Chain A
Amino acid sequence: MNQRFLPLIATIIVFVVGYLFCALQFNHFATLRVVMNLLTDNAFIGIIAVGMTFVILSGGIDLSVGSIIAFTTVVLAVLIGSWHVNPWVAFAMVLVLGGAFGAGMGAIIHFFQLPPFIVTLSGMFLVRGLAFVISTESIPINHPLFAQLNDIVVVVPGGSHLTLIAMVMLVVLGIGTVLAHLTRFGTNVFALGGNRVSAQLMGVPIARTTISIYALSSLLAALSGIVFSLYTAAGYALAGTGVELDTIAAVVIGGTLLSGGAGHMLGSFLGVMIEGLIQTYISFDGTLSSWWTKIAIGVLLFMFIGLQRLLTVVWAAKASAPSRPASGKAAPADAAGPRPQRA
């Protein structure tokens, strides 16, 4: 059994148990409609969670994503509403802007050797401030394309449907999973989170990887902003407040080590879904304050950090134990030694 998957398995168990618990409490919980709503309502968090997973896997943090959502929605509203820019062009512009902003933060983090926390914290203030400078009011977006896009759905059995933004999230999740776990870039991200110095000594392109990670995170935050504007049909500088923290929580609940180097993209998705599940439970219940969501997330977060710490300690103890069955087979029989290897 590969121990690396233990946190992911724990996340899956929490989600399944949580869902079963809800389904037993409420009649209509175990329906596709609830699942589809879960996907739609959490699409924008799911998208930034993909970017945040890369960031945290690399040992960093990105606090600017919530602000980028707000900025993106405001810019979209102004571009489309006041300047009458074609929405597709506007989408492309905010994506380029987001990616460039993230690349800039990544470059500052790498070349000036600054902690990601501080750099992205300044990014968070800067971008949120810019969004307010553009407009302090919520600006509605009334472009017909928005309605058309929101009408794109895949009908699923039970009279429910999969919305476009949920599909966007699932596609992003799929691409992110492949990128993280099946490409050299992904391996480099894990390497960076494992040990920066070692990674560098082993020839990982540190600069390029760091910049790409933050560019990707901000790009996905901008995409999430587009999704958010579709979801709310408005641009508002207060949008996405605190979303960065919800996302970090989701990633950690999803089993990614906050110090980097271990985790799984699908875990982050489940982390987002667990947070959504709690919210759905509370809206089904109807009497609970919605702030209970925060309490439940806090408790879960504690549990997962505790679990990770425990596993880390157990592994460390195992690795330094005097008996090591792993190397039992390792003793070579004779002095033949290594021969020239593959070409």
Chain B
Amino acid sequence: MDGPQEKPHLLEIRGLVKAFPGVLALDGINFTLRHGEVHALLGENGAGKSTLIKALTGVHPPDAGTFLLDGVAIAPRDVADAQRLQIGTVYQEVNLLPNLTVAQNLFLGREPTRFGLVQGAQMRQLSRVLLADYGLDIDVGLPLGQYSVAVQQVVAIARAVDLSAKVLILDEPTASLDLQEVAMLFTVMRGLKARGIGIIFVTHFLDQVFAISDRITVLRNGRLVGERVTATLSRRELVGMMLGHDLAAQQKQGPADAVAAKGPALISFRKVGKRRYLEPFDLEIRPGEVVGVAGLLGSGRTETAKLAFGITRADAGTILVEGKPVHLRSPRQAVRLGFGFCPEDRKVEGIVGALSVRENIILALQARRGWLNRLSRREQQAIADRFIKLLDIRTPDADRPIEVLSGGNQQKAILARWLATEPRFLILDEPTRGIDVGAHDEIIRLIKRLRSEGLALLTISSELEEIVSYSDRIVVLRDRHHVGALTGSDVSVERIMSTIAATGADAGARAPAAPDRPLASLTLP
């Protein structure tokens, strides 16, 4: 079909387009998977990785584009169909059945039977043989749920491959594994490579990409950024591809209007952290100061916010407010201390969709007053009207359900909710995500205005230019560590990126993964 080529590639995706209402999730993606290669698929949140995989496995049929498997056009209808077409998928959340035994999981739907009865002993024997090929020697008669996630991942891979997969999609398989388990998984992956199986590897972890992959394809905002051979790509180039900045001169565009806040800190975090969640960090925020939090997805940005607001309870460190130690065990206490938090996922964690704009705005204030001490309808109306005017929330009236408003206006209503409580310290997690350009600028102006009014702000954003434009200081995270703090003239996109990309052992990145090597020192989506 492609003329006299010697051998078609294992899998070719051409011109893949997928639109969801309002979003072009994939815009003409080309992707090539060769026989016996590990091909990393990378991109920040919303880049289109999951949509690509869902299109390939028939979950979301594509709007346009073709899939060629060994040169033959295919159109998987669902996951089972994709599996029949020899495309196997293993997800981060292992999609096996923890209540069944390992052997039952491996042979579900194809159990060896005689006279209609499952031959348990034979099935267990076959399972042991099968898993021995993966270096796994476990009791296959025990429920899968009794084993670690790593073992479950290998069992999932063994099942997918045994169902005769040519293409194996590993969707963030290492996200919850420790170093030894990652090494074990890589060994399995190399073995599959040697058998000519093509592996699409989606991961957060940059080090793992360099350790195992042959090629890298980067997506951003539904578009193909490029395909590179891993050996010829530097870490910096990769981070640049993912974040969408070329590494040439990035002008500092820091807050020229920043009046470096002096004086004692309003809030001090001293060695605050939580085991297996976020490494302990120090952070001080003064009144009239914006501290930006930057890092790739999964680096611990939101975790920082959740610890700071008491949503997740820290198990180490002390928090001081105006120099006095405080106990922060719940968001309720945080609200009482004068904290506010606008969460990342507005729809899930922020708005109460069916309630009116007014009710959404007074929610936090009412919660702080206690439900017995109810705000009168007139007070509610006054507060709502004031903020609707102040923040220019575009709604016909305050009694409209908030879910009918645009994203930007919802965001402003949530800001209003916290401003109504007259907070001293406000945490904004991705305040501009998913809102249009005009509203975007308004939110940024609002952040600057709040700063000038003496509020202490902690702002998280994946938009580097944005965060640089209003932050007095920037904390950079990598792999759940606070790895750097940028101040003054260091507050620049370039410095953020170099801090993210910096690693202790650049040179060793391509070396095979030894169990004691820090494989997971850099997280990516």
Known A-B contacts A187-B118, A191-B108, A337-B190; the reply to A332 vs B135 at CB < 8 A is: yes
What is the distance, in angstroms, from B510's C-beta to the closest C-beta of chain A?
16
Q: How far is the CA of A204 from the CA of B111 in the complex (A)?
A: 12
Please indicate the chain A residues that have their CB under 8 angstroms from the CB of B129 in the complex.
Answer: 341-342
Whether a CB of chain A sits under 8 angstroms from the CB of B136 is yes
Whether a CB of chain B sits under 8 angstroms from the CB of A286 is no
Q: Contact mask A79-94 → B, CB, 8 Å, 1/0? A: 0000000000000000
Q: How far is the CA of A318 from the CA of B143 in the complex (A)?
A: 13
Q: Name B104's contact: one of A187, A315, A318, A322 (CB within 8 Å).
A: A187
B138 and A318 within 8 A (CB): no
B109 and A203 within 8 A (CB): yes
B99 and A338 within 8 A (CB): no
Please indicate the chain B residues that have their CB under 8 angstroms from the CB of A332 in the complex.
Answer: 134-135, 184, 187-188
B135 and A330 within 8 A (CB): yes
B137 and A329 within 8 A (CB): yes
What is the distance, in angstroms, from A2's C-beta to the closest C-beta of chain B?
6
Q: Name A330's contact: one of B83, B97, B154, B195 (CB within 8 Å).
A: B154
Q: Contact mask B317-339 → A, CB, 8 Å, 1/0? A: 00000000000000000000000
Whether a CB of chain A sits under 8 angstroms from the CB of B370 is no
B147 and A338 within 8 A (CB): no
Please indicate the chain A residues that have their CB under 8 angstroms from the CB of B80 in the complex.
Answer: 201, 203
What is the distance, in angstroms, from A200's C-beta to the closest C-beta of chain B?
8
The interface stretch among A98-106, A177-185, A269-277 is: A177-185
Whether a CB of chain B sits under 8 angstroms from the CB of A95 is no
Q: How far is the CA of A298 from the CA of B56 in the complex (A)?
A: 52
What is the distance, in angstroms, from A202's C-beta to the closest C-beta of chain B?
5
What is the distance, in angstroms, from A295's C-beta to the closest C-beta of chain B?
32
Q: How far is the CA of A183 from the CA of B146 in the complex (A)?
A: 23
Q: How far is the CA of A194 from the CA of B96 in the complex (A)?
A: 9
What is the distance, in angstroms, from A263's C-beta to the closest C-beta of chain B?
10
Whether a CB of chain B sits under 8 angstroms from the CB of A262 is yes
B187 and A327 within 8 A (CB): no
Q: Contact mask B217-243 → A, CB, 8 Å, 1/0? A: 000000000000000000000000000
What is the distance, in angstroms, from A257's C-beta to the closest C-beta of chain B?
8
Interface hits, B90-125 → A, CB 8 Å: 95-100, 104-105, 108-109, 111, 113, 116-118, 120
Q: How far is the CA of A195 from the CA of B188 in the complex (A)?
A: 27
B184 and A190 within 8 A (CB): no
Please indicate the chain B residues that have their CB under 8 angstroms from the CB of A333 in the complex.
Answer: 135
Instruction: Give the total of B residues in contact with A, Cβ under 8 Å.
Output: 57
Please indicate the chain B residues that have their CB under 8 angstroms from the CB of A322 in the complex.
Answer: 178, 276
Please indicate the chain A residues that have their CB under 8 angstroms from the CB of B135 in the complex.
Answer: 330-333, 337
Q: How far is the CA of A198 from the CA of B159 in the complex (A)?
A: 13
Q: How far is the CA of A202 from the CA of B158 in the complex (A)?
A: 13
Whether a CB of chain B sits under 8 angstroms from the CB of A317 is no
B108 and A187 within 8 A (CB): yes
What is the distance, in angstroms, from A197's C-beta to the closest C-beta of chain B?
7
Whether a CB of chain A sits under 8 angstroms from the CB of B162 is yes
Please indicate the chain A residues that have their CB under 8 angstroms from the CB of B120 in the complex.
Answer: 182
B146 and A335 within 8 A (CB): no
Please indicate the chain B residues that have their CB under 8 angstroms from the CB of A204 in the complex.
Answer: 108-109
Q: Name B192's contact: one of A202, A324, A331, A337 (CB within 8 Å).
A: A337
Whether a CB of chain B sits under 8 angstroms from the CB of A116 is no
Residue of A nearest to B163 (CB): A203
Please indicate the chain A residues that have their CB under 8 angstroms from the CB of B97 in the complex.
Answer: 190-191, 194-195, 198-199, 202, 261
Please indicate the chain B residues that have their CB under 8 angstroms from the CB of A324 in the complex.
Answer: 147-148, 151
Q: How far is the CA of A326 from the CA of B183 in the complex (A)?
A: 17
B194 and A315 within 8 A (CB): no
A4 and B143 within 8 A (CB): yes
Q: Name A3's contact: one of B83, B100, B143, B158 (CB within 8 Å).
A: B143
Q: Which of A4, A182, A201 has the most CB of B within 10 A?
A: A201
Whether a CB of chain B sits under 8 angstroms from the CB of A340 is yes
Whether a CB of chain A sits under 8 angstroms from the CB of B258 is no
Whether a CB of chain A sits under 8 angstroms from the CB of B126 is yes
Q: How far is the CA of A335 from the CA of B187 in the complex (A)?
A: 5
Give the number of residue pairs across the A-B interface with Cβ within 8 Å. Answer: 148
Whether a CB of chain B sits under 8 angstroms from the CB of A133 is no
Whether a CB of chain A sits under 8 angstroms from the CB of B79 is yes
Whether a CB of chain A sits under 8 angstroms from the CB of B381 is no
Please indicate the chain B residues that have their CB under 8 angstroms from the CB of A331 in the complex.
Answer: 135, 180, 183-184, 515
Q: How far is the CA of A184 from the CA of B129 in the complex (A)?
A: 21
Whether a CB of chain A sits under 8 angstroms from the CB of B407 is no
Q: Contact mask A241-277 → B, CB, 8 Å, 1/0? A: 0000000000000000000011000000000000000
What is the distance, in angstroms, from A262's C-beta to the closest C-beta of chain B?
5
B191 and A338 within 8 A (CB): yes
Whether a CB of chain B sits under 8 angstroms from the CB of A336 is yes
B109 and A342 within 8 A (CB): no
Q: How far is the CA of A4 from the CA of B143 in the complex (A)?
A: 8
Known A-B contacts A326-B148, A331-B135; the reply to A338 vs B181 at CB < 8 A is: no
Q: Name A338's contact: one of B98, B100, B142, B161 (CB within 8 Å).
A: B161
Please indicate the chain A residues that have their CB under 8 angstroms from the CB of B138 in the complex.
Answer: 326-327, 329-330
Q: Name B141's contact: one of A2, A183, A335 (CB within 8 Å).
A: A2
Whether a CB of chain A sits under 8 angstroms from the CB of B307 is no
Please indicate the chain A residues that have their CB under 8 angstroms from the CB of B190 in the complex.
Answer: 335, 337
What is the distance, in angstroms, from B150's C-beta to the closest C-beta of chain A?
6
What is the distance, in angstroms, from A216's C-beta to the closest C-beta of chain B?
16
A184 and B137 within 8 A (CB): no
Whether a CB of chain B sits under 8 angstroms from the CB of A193 is yes
A261 and B99 within 8 A (CB): yes
A338 and B108 within 8 A (CB): no
Q: Contact mask A197-236 → B, CB, 8 Å, 1/0? A: 1110111100000000000000000000000000000000
**Known pairs A202-B105, A319-B146 / 14 extra A-B pairs, C-beta < 8 Å:** A2-B143, A182-B120, A188-B108, A190-B97, A191-B100, A198-B97, A202-B95, A203-B83, A204-B108, A319-B148, A324-B151, A327-B181, A330-B151, A331-B135
A-B residue pairs, 8 tightest by C-beta: A337-B191, A332-B135, A261-B99, A338-B133, A194-B97, A194-B99, A324-B148, A338-B191
Q: Could you give 30 example pairs across A and B, Cβ below 8 Å?
A: A2-B141, A182-B117, A187-B111, A190-B97, A194-B99, A194-B100, A197-B95, A202-B105, A202-B159, A203-B80, A203-B108, A261-B97, A319-B145, A319-B147, A319-B148, A322-B178, A324-B147, A324-B148, A327-B150, A329-B138, A330-B135, A330-B151, A332-B135, A336-B191, A337-B133, A337-B135, A338-B188, A338-B192, A340-B195, A342-B126
